[in-house]
Structure 1
Amino acid sequence: MDGSWALIAVGLVGLLVGAAAALAFRWSERSHAREPEVAKPAVSYDVAALLSALRSTSVLLGPGGEVLRASPDAYATGLVRNGRLTHATLNDLVAATRADGQIRDEHLEVPRSAVPGADRLSFEVRVATMAGGRVLLLADDQTAQRRLEEVRRDFVANVSHELKTPVGAIALLAETAADAADDPELVRRFAGKMQREAVRLSALVQEIIELSRLQAPDNEVGYVDVSVDGVVTEAVDRIRVEAESREITVVVGGTTGLHVLGDHALLVTAVRNLLDNALRYSDNGTRVSVGVRPRDGIAEIAVVDQGPGISSENAGRVFERFFRVDPARSRDTGGTGLGLSIVKHVAQNHGGEVTLWSAPGRGSTFTLRIPLADDSSDGGAPSRDEKAPPTSAGAGGETRDPHPAR
């Protein structure tokens, strides 16, 4: 009897030991499950708020060079990709700062992308170390300012070159005329040439002033209601004498009664420059057409010529300052190379654009597009005359819509 109780006691002790072991095992599992994984260094709320308030593009790097936080501009400009700095020059700058702890300020130019020939971005960069092995990189994008400086430098260089030509010609002609004082015929001929160069110089200076005014940062168009009919009529009147002297017919047609918001004088200058350009590259006895129409809330003024046309290589450059498709012809006709650039800036200042359609041997169509005033209807009024909208005959007598599909 005593042996039976002993066996029962041993069995109970074994059950208790097994239960205790099972409970200990379960408790161990739960304890391991509750242990958090090792997380990456976190950016505190205060630091994140401070970086968000900075105007500069900011990148906060961890001890291993990983990006902990970056402003949206850092991704937009390509400074950060896949959680890392993308440019070796930036990584070198960060490594040097880590090595000695000194704050570094550098001017760097980096490519926008890995594509060969990609545009280069200009940055003023500051790199400084922070606690916990972190590094802060601040970058100010100077690309727009650099481009503006380049444009100004090129503009000054181009203006200097363009002014030298008529000034030098006038000086040479005056010297030649003085040497030929005993020959009245030669004096009259040289005086006529000096007069033409003086007119060209005056036109060049006036257009430089006009273009500078249009490009001034504080330039604002005085928006008033402007009649498109009045703009076209005045612009045509200004070139009528030259057109008649060369027996070039100027035909005006299309929709009347359209109105835009803008500056009447500037819009007249733009249309007149388009007409001047059309006359300059048109042969005597041909025709220049002006067509007006509303389209999707835009007033389109198209000037069509029957000139030699423009190749695709030059079409993208015709609105650049001082660019001439045919420099010799421009010199003969007094062209300054600024007229179409002025048109482009007038259009931009009015919230519009100027477009070009052209093909060698088929003439050119320049279209000035300006937003309509709210009270202008797309239906328009009857045409200025009873004829159809103007067309232009291209090579082989082919007619062409003054508003070609773009």
Structure 2
Amino acid sequence: MDNAWLVPLSMLLGGVFGAGVVVLVITAERTARAADVAERTLPDGVAAVIATMHNPAVVVDPSNTVVAASPQALTVGLVVRRKLVHAELVDLVDRVRRSGEMGSEDLELPRGRSGELVGYLSFRAAQLGNRYVLVTADDLTESRRIDEVRRDFVANISHELKTPIGAIGLLAETLVVAADDPDHVKKFAGQLITESERLGALTKDIIELSRLQSVDTLESSEETSVDKIVQAAVDANEVVARAREIEIVRAKRSKLRVMGDPGLLQVAVSNLIANAVKYSPDHTRVGVGVRSTKGFVEIAVTDQGVGIPEADLDRVFERFYRVDPARSRATGGTGLGLAIVKHVVGNHGGDVRVWSQPGKGSTFTIRLPEADPELTTALEEQLEEQPS
């Protein structure tokens, strides 16, 4: 072979070989980068599962950056700008990463950005592959609240029952001692009747409230006239109001109708009127108005009474809560009337609101879904067509 071809051939072979080496190096680098990216990517389906979870859940990478989070985790304020907000959670994640074992911890944490509300959450953390840590939580806030309410309810019942029971026992003993004094017997017998009536009213309200919290509260739901409910509630309070020369003024007939238990709805409206009369000065008025607005029926009870301080407005519907305990007991209140109203209205798909100013009176407004005549007629026709 002519030596003249050797140099170009060797250069060509060298170029081909060199290019091959370069290609191999570039390919290796790209493969390594792809592997690295793949390693940083969550396993298939994990992100989708996290996104559909109802409980708080997050996945964090080695830098504790949140790479996936459920909507509830964002709602309760566990994550801000892809970082865990609470140091306690970061410590839990680091502990699991070091030990390689599952960890758990119950924490009481501020909820949301305001930090005013406190949540009770039970966290569990476990490794997800080699790089990630999965953190899930059960929100125990509501169950803790219910437990606290139940404990408070039992404690309050014990306290409220103890007062009239103790008074009845003491008055009975006094009657025995004063048996020979007719005037004292008459006086103590009257007090005994008052305390027994208070005990009876309290027992009745406790039973009523317990019934309202059962699942079968609205077994007898039917379409009913709002005018009849209001009139029955007014009639139930007329005697007490007249005794103090308080005039109950009701609006004109509305012909509005709602679906529900007429008896329970009457109890709710009657309790509002009774409260208005109870806390109103003599020779004043209590107004009862009815109107329809945006598919709801509103029943408003307005008084010219002492009013409620703003700080107490959010608590007046709590069981046994009294703005003025001494005045409430003097008027025979059980502290359960407004709690019963709230439960009745809530079980009928409505709500109850209050406006008040000290010295100017209060307005309590019940809002109930207005009955749809077309839907009611269709339902009645379906029931009639069913075989008996």
3-state DSSP class of the match of 1:64? Answer: coil
CA displacement at 1:50 relative to structure 2? 5.7
Is the 8 Å Cα contact of residues 259 and 372 (structure 1) preserved in structure 2?
Answer: yes
Distance 1:324 1:57 in 2: 37
Matches of 1:352 and 1:375 in 2, distance apart?
A: 18
The separation in 1 between residues aligned to 2:112 and 2:269, in whole angstroms, is 40
CA distance in 1, matches of 2:339, 2:105: 36
1:23, distance to aligned residue in structure 2 (A): 12
Partner of 1:361: 359
Unaligned runs of 5+ in 1: 1-8, 377-406
CA RMSD after TM alignment: 3.1
1:334 aligns with 2:332: yes
In the alignment, the residues of structure 1 paired with residue 284 and residue 50 of structure 2 have an alpha-carbon distance, to the nearest angstrom, of 65
Instruction: Compute the displacement of 1:232 (Å).
Output: 0.9
C-alpha contact 2:295 2:369 (8 A) present in aligned 1: yes
Moved more, 41-50 or 325-334: 41-50
Contact 2:53 2:70 in 1 (8 A): no
Q: TM-score, normalised by structure 1?
A: 0.81
How many matched pairs?
367
Question: Does the 8 A contact of 1:292 with 1:300 survive in 2?
Answer: yes
| Runs of 5+ unmatched residues, structure 2 | 375-388
Q: Is the 8 A contact 1:79 1:85 kept in 2?
A: yes
Distance of 1:232 and 1:144 partners within structure 2: 35
- Which residue of structure 1 lines up, in the alignment, with residue 81 of structure 2? 82
Of 333-342 and 239-248, more deviation after overlay is shown by 239-248
Greater CA deviation, 66-75 or 287-296?
Answer: 66-75
TM-score computed with the length of structure 2 as normaliser: 0.84
Corresponding residue number in structure 1 for 2:293: 295
- Any idea what SS the aligned residue of 2:315 has? coil
Alpha-carbon contact 1:208-1:338 (below 8 Å) kept:
yes
- Map of 1:197 onto structure 2: 195
Percent identity reads: 48
Preserved contact between residue 221 and residue 349 of structure 1 (Cα < 8 Å):
no
1:45 is displaced (CA, Å) by 1.5
Is 156-165 or 81-90 further displaced after alignment? 81-90
Amino acid at match of 1:275: I
In the alignment, which residue of structure 1 is the partner of 2:173? Answer: 175
Q: Deviations over 1:201-257 (max 9, x none)?
A: 111111111112222356446431010111011111111111222222222223421
Tell me if the contact between 1:255 and 1:294 (Cα under 8 Å) persists in the aligned partners: no
Contact kept in structure 1, 2:77 and 2:113, CA below 8 Å: no
1:61 is matched with 60
Amino acid at match of 1:86: V
**Greater fraction of residues in helix:** 2
Aligned to 1:104: 103
Distance 1:292 1:130, change over 3 A: closer
Amino acid at match of 1:328: A
- The 1:290/1:139 distance shift into structure 2, 3 A limit, reads same
Q: Partners of 2:131 and 2:30 in 1: how far apart?
A: 26
CA distance in 2, matches of 1:49, 1:367: 45
- 1:248-268 C-alpha deviation (Å, 9 max, x unpaired): 222222342110111101110
Match of 1:239 among 237, 240, 244: 237
User: What is the alpha-carbon distance in structure 2 between the residues aligned to residue 98 and residue 168 of structure 1?
Assistant: 61
Which structure's CA Rg is the greater one? 1
Query: Which residue of structure 1 lines up, in the alignment, with residue 124 of structure 2?
Result: 126
Q: How far did 1:303 drift?
A: 1.3
